[in-house]
């Protein structure tokens, strides 16, 4: 079993979850049901992944068959950039697709509003100049206050942010009535982001690591990135602890007190990624891992957006 972390909202979140990005429709059902049987209780979704309806079918089946109760699952989904001006409708659209009455966590997927293309369509509208059509009329503060309304309406238990840096996180802490419970960011041994992680944790914002294994094959295919799974230091340490490199990396993430949401479409990997509670990485070895940081981001949406938002 994975441990739990208490959020500033008062709710608890399982520290190991399953990300459903880039999972194909048909296989999602089997994968989610297998994951629940293995012990996963935390599923990380997003409107932009275009598979909430399939996830919803699997969840409904799990509840109806008595495999798991709704209150024992932690379900996250995310507001897409094009829906910043339509937060309530977007949230309701996600709830309907997921066949849920409430979300455990709803995140602002990226700190940027883009041209609205219709609720739930999650398009990234590109302008005539080939660049993402950014909407400069909606502030993140306005979006956040709409997120807070979802909590008072009972649609969402906790709200958070995603892909926010120190500046934006600080700003959100200043203007929020309900503090962001989570900041979900890319972080792994090649992109450790210690300053951001520590800032969030110091101010009561739980950090969830998306791409916790450095993106592996999927990001190599999409973004041409290098994965830390092949790193010689990590390979040697994994051997020392008699674990796979993936298990070692996930344990490193957990020992930093970050929530990890690896994705896998293979059942044996699902099992392997979940079995990380039976060992501890020594302080010396944590330092060795600290030394391999490359400040290397693998998730590069600029490839699709015609603009580097991290520049």
Where in the sequence numbering do the catalytic residues fall? 49
- Given a contact cutoff of 8 angstroms between Cβ atoms, the answer to whether 115 and 86 are in contact is no
Sheet holding 259-260, edge to edge: 18-19, 42-44, 74-79, 103-108, 156-162, 182-186, 206-210, 259-260
| Dist. CA 166–CA 64, nearest whole Å | 43
Instruction: Please identify which residue in the block is written with the tokens 């409107």.
Output: 47
| Dist. CA 210–CA 6, nearest whole Å | 19
SS3 186: strand
Is residue 116 marked as binding? no
Alpha helices in the chain (DSSP H): 25-38, 52-64, 87-98, 140-152, 166-175, 194-202, 216-223, 232-241, 245-255, 267-274, 283-290, 302-305
């Amino acid at each position: 079993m994975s441990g739990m972390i208490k959020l500033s909202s008062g709710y608890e979140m399982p520290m190991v979850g399953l990300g459903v990005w880039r999972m194909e429709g048909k296989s999602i059902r089997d994968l989610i049901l297998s994951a629940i049987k293995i012990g996963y209780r935390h599923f990380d979704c997003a409107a932009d992944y275009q598979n909430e309806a399939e996830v919803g079918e699997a969840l409904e089946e799990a509840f109806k068959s008595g495999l798991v109760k709704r209150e024992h699952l932690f379900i996250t989904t995310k507001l897409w950039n094009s829906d910043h001006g339509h937060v309530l409708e977007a949230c309701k659209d996600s709830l309907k697709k997921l066949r849920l009455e409430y979300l455990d966590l709803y995140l602002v997927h990226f700190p940027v509003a883009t041209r609205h293309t219709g609720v739930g369509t999650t398009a990234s509208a590109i302008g005539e100049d080939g660049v993402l059509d950014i909407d400069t009329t909606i502030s993140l503060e306005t979006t956040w206050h709409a997120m807070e309304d979802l909590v008072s309406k009972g649609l969402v238990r906790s709200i958070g942010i995603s892909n926010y840096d120190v500046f934006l996180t600080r700003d959100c802490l200043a203007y929020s009535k309900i503090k962001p419970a989570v900041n979900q960011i890319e972080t792994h041994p090649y992109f450790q982001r210690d300053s951001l992680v520590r800032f969030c944790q110091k101010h009561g914002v739980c950090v969830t690591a998306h791409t916790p294994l450095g993106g592996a094959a999927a990001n190599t295919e999409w973004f041409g990135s290098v994965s830390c799974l092949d790193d010689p230091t990590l390979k040697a340490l994994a051997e020392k602890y008699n674990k796979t490199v993936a298990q070692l990396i996930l344990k490193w993430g957990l020992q930093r007190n970050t929530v990890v949401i690896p994705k896998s479409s293979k059942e044996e990997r699902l099992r392997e990624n979940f079995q990380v509670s039976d060992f501890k990485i020594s302080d010396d070895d944590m330092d060795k891992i600290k030394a391999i940081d490359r400040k290397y981001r693998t998730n590069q949406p600029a490839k699709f957006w015609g603009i580097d938002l991290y520049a």
